[in-house]
Amino acid sequence: YNQKQYRFYDNETDFQLSFAGFRAVDDAKAVFEDAAAKEGCDKALALMARMEAGEVINHTAVKAESEDRQVDHYNLRLKEEKVTGKSLAHSLTMWEEVKAVIERIENGDITNEAGERFTDVVFNGIGGSFLGPLMLIISQKGDEYNTAPDMKVKVHFVANTDPETFDRLVSRNNLKNMLMVVMSKSGGTSETLGNWDTFSQEVSALGLAPNRHLMAITIPGSFLDGRSKSEKWVHTFNMHEETGGRTSIWSAIGAVPCAFAHIDFAEFLKGASHMDEMTRRADAPSNPAMLMSLYINHLLNKSPKNMMVLGYSDCLKEYSHYLQQLYMESLGKEYDIEGKAAPHGLTVFGGVGTGEQHSCMQQIQKGINDTFVRFIHFRHREADYANAKAGSMGRQLLAFVKGTELALNQNGRSFVTMTFSKPNPFNMGMMVALEERVVSILAAFWDINAYDQPGVQDGKLAAKGVNALSLAIENALVAAKAFTALSVTDTLSTLGVEAASLGDNLEWLADSLLSDICANGGVQNAYKLSAKMSREWDAESCQFKYTWAGM
């Protein structure tokens, strides 16, 4: 337990990392003395040095999957300006500029058409643009963040294209006093573009000017940048093209929500910068990210494992979701950087302890041994309440942390424990920066590119094909005569709808789209159909039969 290779402690911040529960490691020294491990460490350090120097490292030999660009999130909190215009100092200047704009909104210097203050702001983004800001706000303000006394403007998020969520947002709040911040590097992200278009339509329907209710966070020269500036939106904040979505929290994507929530983004940056300094160390036992990566890699080499993240504080409610994207989008790859088929990945799930113990821990403790557990907790409490069984609520929470660790140890399961002083912005910056560095190191160990996401693009492209099919069916129904009890295949044939690009997938996709028309054809704005389509289940042929009343 007290071996150097099993523990890491930072005296300056009271951060502690313990691997005493890594049961797969029989001899910690062997992990570090292994020739392949040493080579991997050297390769990882070299990769990160190249990254911070501004070299193009987002590259894979598979041309269709390679973005071929720099990766700059480490530079955004680097004390030294290795890449022009990117450093901790530049990010702190950006933060001051962001605060100045948001203060003008809060103080009523920037208003709506009627000269009234804005009461609500909606952050419209998906992926890292959504997960990062939400995670950070909840970490500092809790679930009920809009009830905090310093929240002068209420904060809302839209990410998914869920019409019912959007309806609740616009029906429960006053649109004339609402701003939307559109967060997208390009402005072409389907979900974000759809929510932006719908918001603009709703604002226009009230006789208001959308440009007076819109702000943007995007890269210079993008479609969104052009629209926001030509239409004279309230304000446009720029970010760098080299900042990936899942690490965009260090840019205006994180700064603008923090300004509205009165969270000290400067401390968040400084915490990350401090962790970065520790995770650049060449001596592995003195480098917390290298320690973590070596142990995880050693464990995965023995057998495939999932990673469960348990944060023993409600302020970490969204943290495991944030890590899910960071790890799985970065490490889930089909090819290595040379283009050879080499599938890799690390499945991440979790939530808040002790709640997740009641949903997952039975299997982890007693079922298949396919998961290692990451514990995160804080030493200092701002409040506590008496508890007869444990002495206090806080002590009971600590007992659950240590009791679960003990049970895992007794059941031969592996775990890692991270302890921070308190969940302030500085420590949250340290926490996120550590995970980013672990991702970079594991990617170097595995010879994969952690900074592209071709699988996400696959889904986006496929959705376009489904949209085209849906519109083709809708347009064909407008002109179609009535028909009764036709199978999916016969319905498509009657309508004259074809989609050769979908091949064998056409029938089951069309079945879902026709079923949606049956369920939602009469919902306002859903379809341009004045007649009704219905379906019946045919047990003999094991399929739905569709009936169309005709327009």
Residue 503 identity (one-letter amino acid): G
pLDDT of residue 2: 57
On the question of pLDDT at 431 being above 80, the answer is: yes
Between residues 499 and 401, which one has the greater pLDDT?
Answer: 401
On the question of pLDDT at 366 being above 90, the answer is: yes
pLDDT of residue 539: 97
Q: What angle do CA 266, 271, 277 make, to 5 degrees?
A: 125
- Give the H or E element holding residue 16: strand 15-18
CATH homologous superfamily of 77-263 equals: Glucose-6-phosphate isomerase like protein; domain 1 (3.40.50.10490)
On the question of pLDDT at 48 being above 80, the answer is: yes
Question: Is the Cβ–Cβ distance between 3 and 28 less than 8 Å?
Answer: yes
User: Per-domain residue ranges for the chain?
Assistant: 4-68+273-451, 77-263, 455-548
- In which band, very low, low, confident or very high, does the pLDDT at 24 lie, cut at 50, 70 and 90? low
3-state helix, strand, coil in the chain (%, to 5): 50, 15, 35
Average pLDDT (24-35) is 70
pLDDT of residue 277: 99
On the question of pLDDT at 532 being above 90, the answer is: yes
- Rounded-to-integer distance, Cα 53 and Cα 433, Å: 18
Tell me which DSSP letter residue 18 carries.
E
147-173 in b/e form (b: 16+ CB < 10 A) is eeeebbbbbbbbbeeeeeebeebeeee
Instruction: For residue 63, give every residue at least 6 positions away whose Cβ sits within 8 Å of its Cβ, in sequence order, or none.
Output: none
- In which band, very low, low, confident or very high, does the pLDDT at 462 lie, cut at 50, 70 and 90? confident
On the question of pLDDT at 1 being above 60, the answer is: no
Q: Is 329 one of the annotated active-site residues of the chain?
A: yes
Q: Considering 329, 356, 436, 474, which one is annotated as catalytic?
A: 329
CATH code reported for the domain at 4-68+273-451 = 3.40.50.10490
- In which band, very low, low, confident or very high, does the pLDDT at 4 lie, cut at 50, 70 and 90? low
Q: Structure tokens of 187? A: 């402005």
Least confident segment among 1-5, 288-292, 413-417: 1-5
On the question of pLDDT at 546 being above 90, the answer is: yes
pLDDT of residue 36: 84
Helix (H, G, I), strand (E, B) or coil at 245: helix
- Give the H or E element holding residue 307: strand 306-311
- Give the H or E element holding residue 45: helix 35-52
Q: Where are the alpha helices (DSSP H) in 186-248?
A: 190-205, 223-230
Question: Is the Cβ–Cβ distance between 513 and 471 less than 8 Å?
Answer: no
Average pLDDT (164-169) is 95
- In which band, very low, low, confident or very high, does the pLDDT at 538 lie, cut at 50, 70 and 90? very high
Q: Convert the pLDDT of each residue in 304-333 to its tens digit.
A: 999 999 999 999 999 999 999 999 999 999
Average pLDDT (140-163) is 97
Q: Taking all residues of the chain, what is their mean pLDDT, rounded to a whole number? A: 95
Q: Considering 144, 164, 358, 481, which one is annotated as catalytic?
A: 358
- In which band, very low, low, confident or very high, does the pLDDT at 504 lie, cut at 50, 70 and 90? confident
Q: Considering 302, 340, 460, 528, which one is annotated as catalytic?
A: 460
pLDDT of residue 463: 87
Q: What angle do CA 431, 420, 80 make, to 5 degrees?
A: 45
How distant, in Å, are the alpha carbons of 73, 151, 299, 391, 463 from that of 26?
36, 51, 11, 37, 48
- Rounded-to-integer distance, Cα 194 and Cα 178, Å: 18
Q: Report the share of the chain in percent with pLDDT over 90.
A: 87
pLDDT of residue 502: 84
- Rounded-to-integer distance, Cα 282 and Cα 279, Å: 8
Q: Convert the pLDDT of each residue in 444-461 to its tens digit.
A: 999 999 999 888 778 878
Q: Structure tokens of 122? A: 């909606």
Average pLDDT (101-109) is 98
With the CA atoms of 10, 83, 443 and 23 taken in that order, what torsion angle do they form, in degrees rounded to the nearest 10? 0
pLDDT of residue 25: 60
Instruction: For residue 268, give every residue at least 6 positions away whose Cβ sits within 8 Å of its Cβ, in sequence order, or none.
Output: 136, 254, 258, 425, 426, 428, 429
pLDDT of residue 93: 99
- Rounded-to-integer distance, Cα 470 and Cα 465, Å: 9
Q: Convert the pLDDT of each residue in 232-259 to its tens digit.
A: 999 999 999 999 999 999 999 999 999 9
Instruction: For residue 235, give every residue at least 6 positions away whose Cβ sits within 8 Å of its Cβ, in sequence order, or none.
Output: 101, 110, 215, 216
- In which band, very low, low, confident or very high, does the pLDDT at 64 lie, cut at 50, 70 and 90? confident
Q: Is 358 one of the annotated active-site residues of the chain?
A: yes
